[in-house]
Structure 1
Amino acid sequence: MLHRTLALLAAATTLVHAAPTEHVILVSIDGWAHHYFDDPKCHMPTVKALAAKGVRAKRMECSFPTVTWTNHTTLVTGVHPAKHGVLANEYFDRATRKKVPLIPDPIFNKDEIVKSPTIYDAAKAAGLTTAGVIWPASRGAKTLDWTVPDVGDQELFEKYGSPSLLEDARAAGIPIEKQAEWCKLGNPGKAQRDYMYSQLAQLIIKKHKPNFLAIHLVSLDSFEHSNGRQVPEAYWAANDSDNRVADLVRATEEAGIRDKTTFIITTDHGFVTFTKSINANAALKKDGFVKSVLGKSLAPDSQVFAMAEGGACFVYVLDDANRATILKQITPTLAKLEGVQGVVEAKDFDSKLHHITAAKDGREPDLVLLAADGYTFTDSLADNDVIIPNDPPKGAHGHFQLDANLYGGFVISGAGVQQGKVVDEIKNIDVTPTMARLLGIPFPGADGRVLDEALAK
C-alpha cells in the first residue's frame, strides 16, 4: 500500500502549481511547550524574530500519546497514529509478553514501522532533494538523500548514516564519533549532541541546499525530564535550542538561499512536572491479574500487563478467552486509582485518541489510563506500592493531548508565508499538508489541512 501511494504521488506531481518556496527546513525542539513563547523567563530571540516576520500559533495540538516517536511521525506524515502506525515510543508484544522499543530506533528501519507516506517520500518522488538529521523513525529511509539516524548506538549511527555525509563531516571536523559517548552523558551530552546535529545540518545546507530538511533538537526535553517544566535548567536549554536555530538561519544566508527558504519551528509535545508515579501493575498484582517472575519479568499465567508511556498507561489483557470479563473487573479499580484522571475504553479509541482497537492492530492496548497533572505512570513489576512519591519533582509527557500543558509551540516564517500574524490553534497533522503546499508537491490522504491562514496570498 505504501509503495502504491508513493507511485501515485510521483504520477501526480505535474498536477501541482508552482511552489511558493524552494526550501523547507523543519526544526523540532523536543519538549517545546506552547507557553515558552510568551514566558518572560524564556530567552529565544531567534525564534521570536522568525515569528515576528512570520506566523505563530498560540498552541498546537499534538498526537496521543504525547511522546517523541509518535509525534515526530505525525509531523512528517500528516496523519494520526491509527494510520501511520507508530503508536507510542514502544509497544507490548502479546506473543512474547515483552515490551518492544521503538525509541531510539534500535531495531526497525523506517519502512518497517511507518505505514503512511512521509513528506520526504513525497518530495523525493517529485524529484526534490531531502535530508534528515536524527529524525525519529527515519532509520534506513531510502528517500532521504543525506541523513543520520536518531540512534544511540555508534555502529548503527554510522551504518545508517549517509556515507557521503559522514565522510564530509569527518573532513569538516564534526565529531560524529562522539555520538554514542554523548548519548550516555545525560543532560550535558544532549546539548553537545544538538551542537553536533546543528553542524551536520549546516554542512548539508551549505553544500547541498536540500529542498527539504528535518532536524530534531533534544536538549530541552532532557532537562525537563530531569527537573520539570519552566525551571532554570529548561530555560537554559530552550535558549541553547534557539542558538541552534540561529545556526541554521545563518547557514541559509551563507548558502545564498535565505529568501527562498521557509522555516518551521515546532515540537512533539509539551511537559508536565510530576511529584508522584502511578504503578497500575502493583494495583493489579493485589487482585491477582498481574504476576511476575521474581519481579523481573511477566509470569506466563499473568492475565494483564499495564505498560507505562509517561502520562499514559496502555493496559493489555493477555487472556483472550476472558478479555471482556477481565476488562469489566479491572476497569473500575484502575479508574479509582489516585492520579488517574480518565479511562478510555476501546470503543472510544478513535474518537478520543485517534487510535484503533487491538482487534485491528494487536500492538494497541485494550484500555488506556490517563494521568492527571502532577502524575506519571511506571510499570515496574518489582514494586508493590501503587503510588510512589518523587522528590525532587521531575518532568514527563505522554499525557492526554488536550491537557493544557501538553500543547506544543509552532512558528512558520520565510518564503511563501504571511508576516506578523498570530493564529489561535493548529494541529500537528496540519504541518505536512502545509509543507507540501509550500513545496508545490502533491500529498493526498492527509488527516490535516493546509494552513491557508498562514500562507501568503
Structure 2
Amino acid sequence: MERKVILICIDGLAAYYLDDPRCKMPNVRGLINQGTKAEKMKVAYPSSTWPMNTSIVTGVYPKKHGVLGNWVVERETRQVKEHFGDRSWDKEDVVQVPTLYDLAHQKGVKTAAVCWPVTRGAKHIDFNIPEFYEQELFEKHCTPTFWNELKEHGLPVDHYGEWSKDHARGKMQDWLTAEVAKHLIRNHKPGLMMLHFLVADSFQHDYGTRAPEVFWALDYIDERIGQIIGALKEEGVYENTDLFIVSDHGFMDAHSVICPNVLFKQKGWYDEENPTNSKVVAVSNGGVGYVYILDEEYPDELASLVKEELQQTEGVECVFENEHFSELGFPRIEEHSHQPDFIFEAETGYFVYFGAEGDKVIDKNKYTAMHGYLPEKEELKAVFIAHGPSIRSGLSLPEINIVDIAPTVAKIIGLELEDADGKVLEAMINVREVKV
C-alpha cells in the first residue's frame, strides 16, 4: 500500500506550550509518546506565517524561496503587497524553488492542501483550498471540481471567508478544515496532504500567550486532529500514514506598537493621502518592520537620516542593513525587488504597526501578543512531532530547524530536495520502513 503523509501546521504553537500542564492535547501527546518529538524547533526570519509555511514545504530560507514576509513593498509600483491572505500573487509567481507538493505530484503522488499559505494557483496541488480571507477568492481560486464536490456533499464552504476573518468564529474555520480533510481521506486518499489550523494564533493575538482562551483553542485543534486520526483508522490507512505536527512560530506578549509611518509622516517623507508618492514607506511583519527608501533623487542621504531616526526611536532594538541580510536568511537588496533597505527589530513588549493615522509614533497595543521577531528568541521556538510507520518511536531530538522538515518528509516519500538549506533528520527515520 502506498505510503501517505499528512503535514499539519498548528499556527502559533510555541514549544513552551507542550511543557505546560494546562495544555492537555491528548491526541497530540499520544503521537509524541509513540513517535518522535524535537525539544524545540528554530524558525526563520521573520517568524511570520507566510514565509515560514513556505520554508516548511521548501526546506529553504526566504533568501531562496522568495516569500520575504506577510507584507512587502513592490518597488516597481511603490505599492504595499500582501502575501497575507494570498491576496496579491499566485504561488507560481513568487515561490522560486520546488516545493514538496511539486515534487510529489510530478512523481505521481496525489496532493491536497487546505488553508495552506502561498498556494493560490499552485499547479501541482490536486485538491486545493488556499488560505484566504475573502469569500470571492475562495470561489475563484479553489480547485473547481473539488470545491463544487464539497458543496454538493453539504459542507458549508460558502462560509470559509467570513469564518476566516472573524477571530471569534475561527474555530468554525478550523472545524471546516478538519471536515474537508476527513472528506479527502474517505473519498480521495491523497498521498500528501497539508492542513493549517489557525484559531490558536488568532486567540494569542487577541488574548495574549498562555491565556485560558488559548489553551481552549489548542484542545479544540487537538480534537480536530483526533477526528482526522479516527477517519484514517476507519478507512484502514492509519497504519500506513506518517503524521507530522508542526508549527510556524511561537509568540511574545506585547504592550505597545511602533508606528514608523507616523514618524516618516512627521518628517515629510511619507504621504498619508497617497502613499505611492512617499519617499519612505514601512510595512509591518509583526515584531519587525521593513523600511523601503523610494526617493530617487537623494536615496543615500535619506537612508542615512532614516537609519538615524529609527535607532533613536523608542522600542527599536536594532536596525539591520544590506550587509546583515545574508546572515538573516534574506537576499541582498539587489537580489530581490521586495527586499527592504532596512529591517528593524522591536524590543520585547513592542511590535510594529504600519498605519499612519494619528500623531503617535508609540501607541497602545493593538494586539496582545505578536510574532515575527528574531528566531533566536526562545518564545519564538516552534513544535515538531512525527508519528507513523516511517518514524522511530519514543525518540527525542535536540533542537532542529524549520528547514529540516521538507528534506525529512521528502526522504520518507522517496523524493530529494536539491539545494535545501535544511537536512534530513536521519535519526528519526525507521529505515526498514522507508523504500526510496
- Normalised by the length of structure 2, the TM-score is 0.95
Deviates more, 1:166-175 or 1:65-74: 166-175
Structure 2: runs of 5+ lacking an equivalent: 432-436
Match of 1:383 among 358, 366, 383: 358
Structure 1: runs of 5+ lacking an equivalent: 1-18
The residue type equivalent to 1:215 in the other structure is L
Deviates more, 1:151-160 or 1:307-316: 151-160
In 2: Cα distance, 1:348 partner to 1:232 partner? 39
Q: Residue 378 of structure 2 corresponds to which residue in structure 1?
A: 404
Number of paired residues?
Answer: 431
The residue type equivalent to 1:138 in the other structure is T
The residue type equivalent to 2:16 in the other structure is H
Q: Does 1:447 align with 2:414?
A: no
Match of 2:288 among 282, 289, 312: 312
Match of 1:367 among 316, 329, 342: 342
**Per-residue displacement from partner, 1:85-135 (whole Å, max 9, x unpaired)?**
111112112233221112111232210111111000000111111111111
Q: Does 1:298 align with 2:287?
A: no
By how many angstroms is 1:338 displaced?
A: 1.7
Q: Residue 5 of structure 1 corresponds to which residue in structure 2?
A: none
In 2: Cα distance, 1:265 partner to 1:271 partner? 18
By how many angstroms is 1:299 displaced?
A: 6.5
Residues 71, 283 of structure 2: 8 Å contact kept: no
Q: Residue 247 of structure 1 corresponds to which residue in structure 2?
A: 227
In 2: Cα distance, 1:232 partner to 1:209 partner? 36
What SS does the corresponding residue of 2:121 show, helix, strand or coil?
coil
Q: Does 1:25 align with 2:10?
A: no
Quick one: structure 1 residues 372 and 213, their matched pair in 2 at CA, closer, same or farther if it must change by over 3 Å? same
Map 1:38-437 → 2, pairs under 5 A: 38-184=19-165, 186-288=166-268, 290-292=269-271, 295-298=272-275, 300=277, 302-351=278-327, 353-390=328-365, 394-437=368-411
By how many angstroms is 1:177 displaced?
A: 1.4
- Normalised by the length of structure 1, the TM-score is 0.91
**Per-residue displacement from partner, 1:282-337 (whole Å, max 9, x unpaired)?**
3333444x232xx343272x321122211010011112443332222222321232
In 1: Cα distance, 2:325 partner to 2:92 partner? 25
What SS does the corresponding residue of 1:27 show, helix, strand or coil?
strand
Deviates more, 1:324-333 or 1:79-88: 324-333
What SS does the corresponding residue of 1:262 show, helix, strand or coil?
strand
What SS does the corresponding residue of 1:132 show, helix, strand or coil?
strand
The residue type equivalent to 1:81 in the other structure is P
Quick one: structure 1 residues 296 and 41, their matched pair in 2 at CA, closer, same or farther if it must change by over 3 Å? farther
- Cα RMSD (Å): 1.7
**Per-residue displacement from partner, 1:264-284 (whole Å, max 9, x unpaired)?**
101111111110001122333
Deviates more, 1:443-452 or 1:105-114: 105-114
Residues 11, 49 of structure 2: 8 Å contact kept: yes
Residues 79, 276 of structure 2: 8 Å contact kept: no
Q: Which consecutive aligned stretches of 4+ in structure 1 deviate over 6 angstroms post-superposition?
A: none
The residue type equivalent to 1:424 in the other structure is P
**Per-residue displacement from partner, 1:231-278 (whole Å, max 9, x unpaired)?**
111111111111111121111111111111111101111111110001
